[in-house]
Amino acid sequence: MRALLLLPVIAFASTAASAAPKNIIYMIGDGMGPAYLTAYRYYQHEGEHPVANTIFDDLLKGTASTSPDDDTLVTDSAAAATALATGVKSYNGAISVNRQHIPIGTMMQLAKHQGKANGVVASSQVNHATPASFLAHNISRQNYNQIADMYFDYRINGKPVADVILGGGTQFFIREDRHLVNEFKNEGYQYIDNWQQLDSLTRAPALALMADVALPAALNATEPRQLETLTSKALQLLSPAEKGFMLMVEGSQIDWCGHDNDIACAMAEMDDFANAIAVAKAYVDANPDTLLIITADHETGGMSLGAAGKYLWLPEVIKGVSATGRKIADELNAAPDDNTALARWLALTKIQLTKEEQQQLLAARGKEQKALREVAVKLVAQYSYTGWTTGAHTAVDVPVMAYGKNSEDFHGFMDNTDIAKQLIKYISSH
């Protein structure tokens, strides 16, 4: 494994240290295809035309292809994150291993060798596919406990690869067979498990597991701007690093909303991600020796703005929806009778249904959550004229945005591996 880790150093050793950014902030909107950016622009717009740019529009530099190391052309998050973390393509499900299951060195492992600090922030469990591909190696993204173990057990210069880990996933770190949280604490990591304690994290190394698995969906959350808050905290904790740092921030649940074909859920996650990007951009403004790079691992859902043969998309319908399809389904199933269920639907969506649509919704009551959720999100899509082609991923190219030092290196079209290779080039030059 060490030989593989050294390959990027040898390949890019000619880069002058003065040309490379000291700090890298790498933000990944999971599932965030081009239509998500367009939808968010119209969703956040208030008032008359012209429609104002979003932070995504202002930072846009180009696009990237996302295909995995096979002939499917459609990647999963693990293969895509492996490409984004290592510069090497692999098979769907792989966590920074190649087709022969040999570990591939990641840029965070390289950064650790170079004396830099590393941090990961995710709205999913912190050992989910994307953060895992920066910190660990495994033949399957589903091996959550093994991946969590590797966060502690895999050492570089005697220390875990990540100095700051913020997100969800308590159940994978406190288990009957192993109490990783105590092991991290014994290693000197500050640890919290709720938002009220966030201010008590005052230095790295630090671990925050704010939910049993993933954080609540942004549209349902009682804590506002979760990803923004955690990104701000991670930057605070990493900033004192003498040789600089690398921070990966994932807007994890954009993808989950796409899988559900839930446009209101997706726009709320995009808003949380945009606010986190604003925090990172402000950090770059105050620390110009920093590069901010933003992309997606793939597109999810095949979203279209306009559907049913109509030249129409209605973001104001989406703005009226105050819960995810999953929560709507739970609320309607918990209602004591049909009239209460319909009243709850109206309160949560502001959508007046026809009698036929009401019967369609009520017919799904009492079934598994998925059945009612699918009806709910289809109705929201119908009234907003949002189209979806799949509940899975697509092979659509994804946006690439950059800001700060060397951001001009990311103009135009590239492959996802090219992003990683360029970042590895910077890291290896220090």
Residue 11 has a pLDDT of 42
Cβ atoms of residues 332 and 345 within 8 Å = yes
Fold designation for 305-387: Diphtheria Toxin Repressor; domain 2 (1.10.60)
In whole angstroms, what is the distance from residue 371 CA to residue 355 CA? Answer: 19
Of 282, 272, 284, nearest in space to 245 by CA: 284
Question: Are 309 and 51 spatial neighbours (Cβ–Cβ below 8 Å)?
Answer: no
Average pLDDT of the segment spanning 148-169 = 98
Check: CB of residue 76 under 8 Å from CB of residue 68: yes
Both structure tokens of 304: 């279209």
Lowest-pLDDT choice from 17-31, 77-91, 174-188, 341-355: 17-31
**In the chain, which residues fall in CATH 1.10.60.40?**
305-387
Whether residue 257 has pLDDT greater than 60: yes
Q: What's the chain's length in residues?
A: 430
Check: CB of residue 64 under 8 Å from CB of residue 415: yes
Please compute the mean of the pLDDT values over residues 390-408 and round it to a whole number: 98
pTM value surpassing 0.85: yes
Say which residues have a Cβ less than 8 Å from residue 78's Cβ, sequence separation at least 6.
92, 93, 94, 95, 129, 132, 133, 141
303-335 per-residue burial string, b: 16 or more CB within 10 A, e: under 16: bebebeeeeebbbebbebbebbbbbbbebbbeb
Output the pLDDT for position 15. 41
How far is residue 225's CA from residue 347's CA, in Å, rounded to a whole number?
23
Those residues whose C-beta lies under 8 Å from the C-beta of residue 222, and which sit 6 or more positions away, are: 216
Query: Measured between alpha carbons, how far is 180 from 66 in angstroms, rounded to an integer?
Result: 34
Give the active site residues.
Answer: 77
**429 band by pLDDT with thresholds 50, 70 and 90:** confident
Q: Which residues contact 29 (CB under 8 A, 6 or more apart)?
A: 36, 250, 251, 254, 270, 273, 294, 295, 296
Please check the confidence at residue 3 and state whether its pLDDT lies above 80.
no
Q: CB atoms < 10 A from the CB of 406, how many?
A: 18
Residue 2, pLDDT > 60, answer no
CA 41 to chain centre: 19
* pLDDT(5) > 80: no
Q: What integer pLDDT is reported at residue 49 of this predicted model?
A: 79
Cα dist from 195 to 180, 192, 276, whole Å? 20, 8, 17
Residues of the chain with CATH 3.40.720.10: 2-303+390-428
CB 427 within 8 Å of CB 112 = no
Collapsing DSSP states into helix, strand and coil, what is residue 224?
coil
Q: Per the CATH hierarchy, to which homologous superfamily does domain 2-303+390-428 belong?
A: Alkaline Phosphatase, subunit A (3.40.720.10)
Structure tokens, 62:
């180009």
Q: What letter would DSSP give residue 103?
A: B
Query: Which residues are registered as beta bridge partners of 209?
Result: 167
